[in-house]
Amino acid sequence: MRRALEVAADNPPGNGVEAGAAGDLSGDIPVGAVLYGPDGVELAVGRNERERTGDPTAHAEVLALRRAAALRGEWRLDGCTLVVTLEPCTMCAGALVLARVSTLVFGAWEPKTGAVGSLWDVVRDRRLNHRPEVYGGVLATESAALLRAFFR
């Protein structure tokens, strides 16, 4: 989770200021995601890029999944672990289920849009063909602090 927090705090290339600081030109909410392979090696990272790219699907989790799939040359990410600083939304929860991610670890809970137990529980829906193991609230205080700093 500490690596995901580092990713969340990083800036888009050329920005030159700390994420969430006054003058941050990206405008993207600082959420970081790291995808680890079955052997524990980091495969890919993602940070929210919706504002920077104009892409509504450019959430940290989706970007990390896309990059890891491209690296591996396949969409199935069996045995992989996704670590993200904020509870995934419905889109991201659905994407990680469809990608067959084995384990999800997340930091702060998201009561407004969270789809891993807060508002919905997409990843544990027994009607789906894949359900990852979930560990929520890991370094939640640190993850929430990063978000609070951004929204000041």
Cα 30-146-100 angle, rounded to 5 deg: 55
Pick the catalytic residue from 61, 87, 133, 142: 61
pLDDT tens digit sequence for 121-146: 999 999 999 999 999 999 999 999 99
Residue 89 assigned to a binding site: yes
Q: Which domain holds residue 66?
A: 1-8+29-151
- Number of folded domains in the chain? 1
Residue 130 assigned to a binding site: no
Tell me the pTM: 0.90
Annotated catalytic, 18? no
Within-domain flag for 21? no
Within-domain flag for 14? no
CB-CB contact of 67 with 45 (8 Å): yes
Which stretches of the chain drop beneath a pLDDT of 50?
A: 12-25
